[in-house]
């Protein structure tokens, strides 16, 4: 084994998002993700690390993307865009009121 994650497929479907989040983290080498307090309008999301713009990368290679689950929306970093320890991350976005 290489330290991966495992879970039973017999679990309640409501908990699958947690399993999928762990799979995404393991597969991507993910070091950082931030859960947003509201569901953003995707085109409005602006992310900076230490004041430098980070591009959205839906191919999940080098940048950030939005990951949606039944527990919320997260900003997830990939590749060289993964923030280092203690770097300031800023996420701004617009959202529709519920």
Q: What is the pLDDT of residues 25-80, one digit of tens each?
A: 555 554 578 899 999 999 999 999 999 999 999 999 999 999 998 889 999 999 99
**Residue 90: strand, helix, or coil:** strand
What pLDDT was estimated at residue 30? 45
- State the Cα–Cα distance between residues 38 and 26, nearest whole angstrom: 25
Residue 21 inside a domain? The answer is no
Residue 7 inside a domain? The answer is no
Residue 37 inside a domain? The answer is yes
Residue 65 inside a domain? The answer is yes
Q: Answer whether 56's CB lies under 8 Å from 65's CB.
A: yes
Residue 43 inside a domain? The answer is yes
Into how many domains does the chain fold?
1
Task: Read off the pTM.
Answer: 0.67
Structure tokens at 49: 């690390």
Range of the domain at 41: 32-92
Phi, psi of 4 (to 5 degrees): -75, -170
CA-CA-CA-CA torsion sign (87, 74, 18, 61):
negative
Structure tokens at 43: 């085109």
Residue 87 inside a domain? The answer is yes
Q: How confident is the model at residue 22 (pLDDT cuts 50, 70, 90)?
A: low
Residue 6 inside a domain? The answer is no
Residue 71 inside a domain? The answer is yes
């Amino acid at each position: 084994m290489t330290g991966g994650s495992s879970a039973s497929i017999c679990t309640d479907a409501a908990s699958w998002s947690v399993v999928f989040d762990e799979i995404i983290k393991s597969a991507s080498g993910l070091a950082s993700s931030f859960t947003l307090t509201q569901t953003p309008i995707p085109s409005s999301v602006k992310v900076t690390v230490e004041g430098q713009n980070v591009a959205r990368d839906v191919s999940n290679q080098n940048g950030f993307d939005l990951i949606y689950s039944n527990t919320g929306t997260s900003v997830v970093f990939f590749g060289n865009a993964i923030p280092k320890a203690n770097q300031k991350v800023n996420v701004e976005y617009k959202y529709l009121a519920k």
